[in-house]
């Protein structure tokens, strides 16, 4: 339970940083995508805290990539939702290959932050991306 609370706090910090990255001039736009993928990683870590880090990592990549590829699908109902603030945050606007790279970077960063926190506060020593 304590671990989940830490991850919830991290997720909230990531959300704030992601929103600020869209408002502060000079921060590259891709940083919003990096933060979004980190957020997905931590939400999965919160929901599936009993699963291995590898499972969380792979699930995060799959989910973020599916969301990006759905941006190739256009129908009025989904495009209308994408134009709303929450729809834009959750589903994005248009497919970009560079977003896939940003998502992978965000998930890798999230993974190593999680491993560092687990090691420091929850006494996990394993840093390899493998099943336990």
pTM: 0.84
How do residues 7-32 score in pLDDT, each as one tens digit? 999 999 999 999 999 899 999 989 99
Could you report the per-residue pLDDT of 61-99, keeping only the tens digit for each?
999 999 999 989 989 999 999 999 888 878 888 888 999
Q: Among candidates 106, 117, 112, which has minimal Cα distance to 38?
A: 106
Q: Give, to the nearest 10 degrees, the angle between helix 30-47 and helix 53-70.
A: 130
Residue 29 is predicted with a pLDDT of: 87
The upper half-sphere exposure of residue 116, i.e. CA atoms within 13 Å in the direction of its Cβ, equals 7
Percentage of the chain lying above the pLDDT 90 cut: 66
Predicted confidence at residue 122, as pLDDT, reads: 80
Nearest alpha-carbon partner for 107 in 68, 71, 65: 65
Residue 129 scores a pLDDT above 70: no
Per-chain mean pLDDT for the chain? 90
């Amino acid at each position: 339970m304590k671990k989940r609370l830490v991850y919830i706090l991290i997720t909230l910090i990531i959300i704030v940083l992601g929103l600020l990255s869209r408002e502060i001039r000079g921060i590259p736009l891709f940083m919003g995508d990096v933060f979004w993928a980190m957020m997905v990683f931590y939400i999965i870590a919160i929901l599936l805290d009993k699963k291995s880090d590898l499972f969380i990592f792979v699930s995060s990549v799959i989910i973020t990539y599916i969301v990006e590829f759905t941006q190739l699908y256009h129908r009025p109902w989904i495009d209308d939702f994408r134009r709303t603030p929450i729809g834009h945050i959750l589903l994005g606007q248009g497919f970009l290959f560079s977003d896939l790279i940003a998502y992978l970077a965000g998930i890798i960063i999230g993974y190593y932050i999680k491993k560092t926190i687990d090691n420091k506060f929850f006494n996990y020593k394993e840093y390899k991306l493998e099943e336990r």
